[in-house]
Amino acid sequence: MYLTNLNLKFKSVIKDRLFYNRFEYAIGFHLDEVSCLRELDHTHIDSMIERRRAWREIAQLRIRGAGNLFGKSNTILSHNKNKQKEITEKTVSDLHELANLLLTTQCDFKLVVSINQAHVYTNYLTLIDQLTDLSGATQKEYSKAIICRPKNTIKLKEPKHQFRSYVKRTKLTTNQKNNLINFLNNYADIRISPAFSVWSKTLFNRTQDYFFIDHDTESWLTMLSLVHPGLIRKTMQIIPAK
């Protein structure tokens, strides 16, 4: 598709597949209250805005009361003002503008929102161009998926293992964590990621999805599953980078 804005700079994201296995391009941007668009519906947006305004008004009243009670109203209100940004009519208008664009476009896309941040994935540069022109969107970033390796593989310059397995983000009991660490420590022929290694020495029990283990056989995962079933979320073959 033709892109009218030739000044857009796309960051190459080296991958083994397209974004969400479907899309080549992505635009990320900041837009206040954009998480109201978890449902692309104008009525839903207005309902969420009404709820958020009501909740923030209640929160303001409670903090004013607490501040007056303890004689710290100025400090507390100043802190609260920074945390609870006013939802302006301009913000509401910007949300409806974005929703209307996505509801009426003929381009295939996927919208992902989190608090005040949105990402739209698509194969159509015309949609990227239209999103660029949104008046309320700021801090725009552009990405393009570059497929340079087979699916389910990862390239390393000097690979020392055959597979890399990533764990799920989950909370373990102290006993589960100790059993897991003891199991991993019994194998000198594996490598756990630096972040995973640091976590193993802390009091935190929640694993993160970027923790990984490099190993040489898929059968090793069977033994791991006996210690903690379902811990692994995906396994990728390690191939040498040429």
Q: Quick: pLDDT tens for 144-160.
A: 999 999 999 999 999 99
More confident residue, 9 or 78: 9
Per-residue pLDDT at 7: 76
Calculate what percentage of the chain has a pLDDT beyond 90.
Answer: 81
Pick from 103, 97, 168: nearest CA to 133: 97
Query: Is residue 52 domain-shared with residue 12, that is, in the same domain?
Result: yes
Average pLDDT, the chain: 90
Task: Show which of 90, 115, 148 is a domain's final residue.
Answer: 148
| CA angle (208, 212, 216) in 5-degree steps | 160
Question: Given a cut of 60, is residue 4 above it in pLDDT?
Answer: no
Question: Is 106 found in the same domain as 93?
Answer: yes
Domain final residue pick, 113, 148, 183:
148
Q: Is the pLDDT score of 231 beyond 50? A: yes
Same-domain check for residues 20 and 129: yes
Q: How far is CA 147 from CA 126, 144, 202, in A?
A: 22, 10, 37
**Predicted local confidence at residue 82, as pLDDT:** 42
What's the CA gap between 27 and 133, in Å, rounded?
Answer: 12
- Number of domains observed in the structure of the chain: 2
157 and 127 in a single domain? The answer is no
Q: Are residues 6 and 116 in the same domain?
A: yes
One domain, residues 69 and 124: yes
For residues 164-193, give the mean pLDDT: 96
pLDDT one-digit tens code per residue, 11-69: 999 999 999 999 999 999 999 999 999 999 999 999 999 999 998 888 777 776 665 55
pLDDT at 5: 59
Q: Residue 28: which of 8, 5, 7, 3 has the closest Cα?
A: 8
Are 32 and 134 within 8 A, CB to CB? Answer: no
Same domain for 66 and 135: yes
Residue 214 CB partners (closer than 8 Å, separation 6+): 160, 161, 163, 164, 190, 191, 192, 238
Copy the structure tokens of residue 105.
């476009």
Name the residue range of residue 212's domain: 153-240
Question: Which residue, of 98, 113, 148, is where some domain finishes?
Answer: 148
How many percent of the chain have pLDDT more than 70? 89
Distance CA 105, CA 178 (A): 52
* Two structure tokens written together for 52: 């958020």
| pLDDT at position 80 | 47
Do residue 50 and residue 143 come from a single domain?
A: yes
